[in-house]
Amino acid sequence: MEENTTAWAGVENHIDDPEELRVMYNAADSFQQYARTAHFQITHQRRNAFYALPQSQRAVLQAPPISYLDTLIKVDDAIDSNAELARAIFSTSLQTFELGIQSEDGTLKMPKQWDGRAKHSDIDKARSTLRQFFRDWSAEGAAEREICYGPVKRAIAAEKERRGPSGPRLRVLVPGAGLGRLVFDLFLDGCDAEGNEISYHQLLASSYILNCCERAGQFRIFPWVHSFSNHLSRENQLRSYAVPDIHCVAETARAQQTRELGEMSMTASDFLCEYNKAENKDKYDVVATVFFLDTAPNLMRYLEAIMHCLKPGGILVNIGPLLWHFEGQVPRHIHDEGDTESECNMTGITEPGSFELSDDEVMSLVETMGFEVISRETGIDAPYIHDAQSMLQSMYKASAWVARKPTQ
């Protein structure tokens, strides 16, 4: 195994595209702005609303056992704890992704033209990314990971066994890799695992946790603190979790002592643009899609790209619901009149045209496009960043299946 096993250490080439630079800077700035906006939206506005109440009502609410103002102080403390992780992601990104400039004291800072430019939608994504650490990088998230990553790992293990112990390591592509936990786990299992992610919020966060975090349990996150709704108790809202549950560098060193590991990499790109390239034809033994296929406005183009990049006889392993992400949305190009989009954008995920299918229609399409479905299971209870103590419970009934590309 090579010494360098980092999944996403930063940019390989200087980025000159103005739109991509804007997206990257806004993503970084959103982590910088997390604390300020969270304090304003979650506690400052509630304090203002509290002091607008009649004095007699305030007296009841601020006294035990409710102690509403004390609760807001605890929520502020929880936001500050989340912000430690957000600031670490931001600070590291300035160097790793070559975003920072030298300040007078020699440290890196955000260039003035980008400082404070993140939009509300960017900051919402940062908040969501921090919550996602519960799923991918906490001990308590292991149950969710087993439900969604377990079937993928078992299918890949079965494919390894089918090919025999003397074969080369499996090359596995994970589109929509998110915070990188599945990619890292597959690397530990001896696969050459490559993640692909288009979101810079996810890329900045995964780069930090995989490469720069100092120890297991370095941070405590409060994933439920951003909402005051559907809590049985205030203790539930203020529950915290240590992240990461493992230190990736230490875990890699420990695993190397007992078994052969794979290699690990990450691409930052539009899945369709990257994996329809000629150099990626017939390259991967496995494509593993977890909660990914429903991000397609045009599923046929996803399946075409997967067919293109899979080796003959390779397998597509899928698990997830069908929450079609673009349902009801006007395609972006309709709003971009007068803008000149790159060729990649016009042939990538933003290409005109979209449709949504039912699960049985998806399976029919998979077979129509040349795959052989070799296993299928439906109705799998699959939570996503699930608060088991919440008064509001939602659960996906996911579909899991494996399909093979023909050998000829």
The mean of the pLDDT values for the chain is 91
Beta bridge partners of 174: 195
Residue 362's contacts (CB-CB under 8 Å, 6 or more residues apart) are 293, 299, 322, 399
pTM for the model: 0.91
Asked whether residue 8 is assigned to any structural domain, the reply reads: no
Is 11 among the domain residues? no
- For residue 34 the two structure tokens come to 């997390």
Question: Which CATH number does the domain housing residue 140 bear?
Answer: 3.40.50.150
Percent of the chain residues past pLDDT 90, beyond the cut? 80
Confidence of residue 178 (pLDDT cuts 50, 70, 90): very high
The answer on pLDDT for 300 being more than 80 is: yes
In a domain, 10, yes or no: no
Compute the average pLDDT of residues 330-341.
Answer: 42
What pLDDT, on a 0 to 100 scale, did the predictor assign at position 9?
55
Q: What is the DSSP string of 215-256?
A: STT-EEE-TTTT--SSBSSHHHHT--EEE-SS-HHHHHHHHH
Instruction: Report yes or no on 9 lying in a domain.
Output: no
* Structure token digits, residue 52: 């607008």
Does the structure show a pLDDT above 80 at 26? Answer: yes
Q: How confident is the model at residue 18 (pLDDT cuts 50, 70, 90)?
A: confident
| Total domain count, the chain | 1
Indicate left, alpha or beta for 4 from its phi (over 0: left) and psi (-120 to 50: alpha). beta
pLDDT at 155 > cutoff 80: yes
Given a cut of 70, is residue 331 above it in pLDDT?
no
What confidence score (pLDDT) does residue 118 get? 85
- Domain-located, residue 6: no
Give yes or no for a cis peptide into 65 (omega within 30° of 0). Answer: yes
Whether 5 maps to a domain, the answer reads no
Flag whether pLDDT at 226 surpasses 90: yes
Question: Which ranges of 225-370 does DSSP label H, i.e. alpha helix?
Answer: 234-237, 248-256, 271-275, 299-309, 332-335, 343-347, 359-368
Residue 15: what pLDDT?
A: 64
Residue 2 lies in a domain: no
Half-sphere exposure at residue 42, Cβ-oriented, CA atoms within 13 angstroms: 25
* The amino acid at 267: T
Work out whether the CA dihedral 281, 284, 287, 288 comes out positive or negative.
Answer: negative
Does residue 19 have a pLDDT over 90?
A: no
pLDDT band at 279 (very low <50, low <70, confident <90, very high): very high
Q: Among 7-16, 148-157, 374-383, name the one with the lowest average pLDDT.
A: 7-16
Predicted pLDDT at 408: 79
Q: Is residue 4 part of a domain?
A: no
Per-residue model confidence (pLDDT) at position 350: 67
Which carries the bigger pLDDT value, residue 136 or residue 5?
136
Q: Which of 17-21, 77-81, 195-199, 314-318 has the lowest mean pLDDT?
A: 17-21
Closest by CA position to 309, among listed 338, 286, 341? 286
Q: What is the pLDDT of residues 350-401, one digit of tens each?
A: 678 899 999 999 999 999 999 999 999 999 999 999 999 999 999 999 999 9
Average pLDDT estimate for 181-202: 97
Overall average pLDDT of the 173-189 stretch: 98
DSSP string, 103-146: -TTS-EE--TTTTT---HHHHHHHHHHHHHHHHHHSGGGHHHHH
Task: Please compute the mean of the pLDDT values over residues 401-405 and round it to a whole number.
Answer: 99
pLDDT at 339: 38
Structural domain that includes position 42? 18-110+117-404
- Residue 285 · residue 159 · CB < 8 Å: yes
Asked if the model's pLDDT at residue 325 lies above 50, the reply is yes
For residue range 243-278, list pLDDT tens digits in order.
999 999 999 999 999 999 999 999 999 999 999 999
